[in-house]
Structure 1
Amino acid sequence: MSEHTDAAEALGRIARMEDASRRQGGWYTRYLLVFGATQLFLVPAVLLGHGTALAAVALCVHVVAVAGLSLYAARQRTVRRGFGLRHGLAIGTWAVVYGAAVVLGGTMFVDSVPFTAVATICCVLPLAAMALLERRGSA
């Protein structure tokens, strides 16, 4: 009878762990949304405020936000399978889009408000898309 009891206890622990994992699984969605929100300030400041204190302040705010988000991520107890690949894809895509926006905004579209608006949306889009996919996957 103890084998059945042990098995039942093990299944109960597994069910509790799965429940806790599902409840805590939304952290990465919040991470991506906050990171995306920082782009709404960073991209316009960098593209329209070249050589000014605004660009420097924006970059400092971005560094502080990334550091805070990294601490937040490190304190999370659960990650879903394939997290590293999804995170690498989200941040890698953002980095390519952001890099292209900065290069094009600094060379071909200097002080262009329409380009800055489109570039900002393009920088937020990969993060928002991954947040949506992550939310659907953890539900």
Structure 2
Amino acid sequence: MSEIADARETLGRAAELEKQVRARSGWYVRYLWMFAAWQLLLVPAVLLWHGPAASIGASVGNVLVVMALSAYAARQRVVRRGFALTHGIVMASWAVLYVLALVLGEAAFTDSPVFAAVAAVACALPLVTGALLERRRAA
């Protein structure tokens, strides 16, 4: 009988731990929303501003944002199962769209504010989608 009670207690603790992990994994949703918002500023800046000062400014801004987000992520104590795969897919999707936006922007849509706006939204889309899916998983 003691073994059954021990098993129930262990399962109860595991269920409580899973509940806590889900509740505390909301940090990743905030991380993705912040990175998506940054895309709405970064992509138009990179596509519409030209010259060395613009390149340096956009690069420094991007480094600062990525450093701040990385420090924020490193301080989090909880990640749910499957996080690495999810994060890898979201970031790979963003990277493909970002590179595509830069290549098309420079090759075919130079100085086009409309393209810059559409590209910014396109680059933010995988991040927003990831945030919405993560919020559903955490609930």
**Aligned partners of 2:97 and 2:122 also within 8 Å:** yes
Distance 2:50 2:102 in 1: 10
Partner amino acid for 2:92? G
**Aligned partners of 1:42 and 1:59 also within 8 Å:** no
Unaligned runs of 5+ in 1: none
Is 1:65 matched up with 2:65? yes
DSSP 3-state at the match of 1:110: coil
Q: Which residue of 2 aligns with 1:84?
A: 84
Over aligned residues, Cα RMSD in angstroms? 1.8
Distance 2:117 2:55 in 1: 16
Q: Which residue of 1 aligns with 2:38?
A: 38
**Aligned partners of 2:33 and 2:131 also within 8 Å:** yes
Q: Which residue of 2 aligns with 1:114?
A: 114
Q: Which residue of 2 aligns with 1:20?
A: 20
Distance 1:19 1:83 in 2: 16
**Aligned partners of 1:47 and 1:116 also within 8 Å:** yes
Structure 1 residues 67-113: Cα deviation after superposition (integer angstroms, max 9, x where no partner)? 11112112212212211111111110111100011111112111001
Q: Which residue of 2 aligns with 1:74?
A: 74
**Aligned partners of 1:40 and 1:120 also within 8 Å:** yes
**Aligned partners of 1:33 and 1:127 also within 8 Å:** yes
Query: What displacement does 1:10 show?
Result: 3.4
Unaligned runs of 5+ in 2: none
DSSP 3-state at the match of 1:72: helix
Runs of 4+ in 1 over 6 A off after TM superposition: none
Q: 1:76 to 1:38 in 2, by over 3 A?
A: same
Identity over the aligned pairs, expressed in percent?
55
Distance 1:74 1:38 in 2: 19
Provide the aligned length of Structure 1 versus Structure 2: 139
Structure 1 residues 32-83: Cα deviation after superposition (integer angstroms, max 9, x where no partner)? 1001111111001000002152342222111111111112112212212211
TM-score by length of 1: 0.88
TM-score by length of 2: 0.88
Partner amino acid for 2:93? T
Distance 1:117 1:55 in 2: 18
Distance 1:59 1:137 in 2: 34
Distance 1:85 1:11 in 2: 26
